[in-house]
């Protein structure tokens, strides 16, 4: 469905309410990318998940993911967690089309494409 998707780098998906859960090997990979020890990364950049099953990334005071920098870029992009790597290819939320400019453009081009097929 999203094979032609192009990210507009708006950062909206990093600002929506929600959690970014870490897998067991994420802290070591992300800490190495940030030049930190794994212990420091866990202590300062993560917290216990709401369901108490593992760790999630912390949020900034404004609710955005703490890994989003002031230039709207992910500080850990090459080693970002699976949830971030697979959106919006493997999953979307019900409201993803409301905030994701890439999905909105994709949808518009699909609608244009389908109307062209009918017209010509
Ligand atoms: S880890 Fe990076 S891509 Fe994932 S929500 Fe945070 S800033 Fe966005
Ligand atoms: S909301 Fe969509 S277009 Fe914006 S950064 Fe996220 S994936 Fe890219």
**pLDDT tens for residues 82-95?**
999 999 999 999 89
What is the 110 CA–ligand 1 centroid distance (Å)?
A: 27
- Is there a domain that residue 7 lies in? no
- Is there a domain that residue 21 lies in? yes
- Is there a domain that residue 4 lies in? no
Which residue has the least CA distance to atom 1 on ligand 2?
A: 100
Which residues, judged by CB distance below 6 Å to any ligand atom, belong to the binding site of ligand 2? 7-13, 88, 99-102
**Structural domain span for residue 72:** 12-119
- Is there a domain that residue 23 lies in? yes
Which residue has the least CA distance to atom 2 on ligand 1?
A: 74
* Contacts of range 92-101, beta carbons closer than 8 Å, 24 or more positions apart: 92/2, 93/16, 95/16, 96/13, 99/12, 99/13, 99/16, 100/10, 100/12, 100/13, 101/8, 101/10, 101/12
- Is there a domain that residue 6 lies in? no
Instruction: Return the ligand number nearest the Cα of 9.
Output: 2
Residue 3 has pLDDT above 80, yes or no: no
The total number of structural domains in the chain stands at 1
Q: What digits encode the pLDDT tens for the residues 40-69?
A: 999 999 999 999 999 999 999 999 999 999
């Amino acid at each position: 469905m999203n094979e032609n998707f192009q990210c507009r780098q708006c950062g909206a998906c990093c600002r929506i309410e929600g959690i970014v859960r870490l897998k067991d090997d994420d802290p070591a990979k992300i800490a190495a990318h940030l030049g930190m020890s794994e212990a420091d990364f866990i202590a300062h950049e993560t917290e216990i998940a709401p369901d108490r099953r593992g760790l999630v990334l912390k949020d900034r005071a404004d609710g955005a993911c703490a890994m989003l920098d002031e230039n709207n870029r992910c500080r850990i992009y090459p080693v970002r967690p699976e949830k971030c790597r697979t959106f919006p290819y493997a999953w979307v939320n019900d409201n993803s089309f409301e905030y994701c400019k890439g999905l909105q453009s994709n949808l518009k081009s699909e609608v244009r494409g389908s109307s062209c097929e009918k017209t010509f």
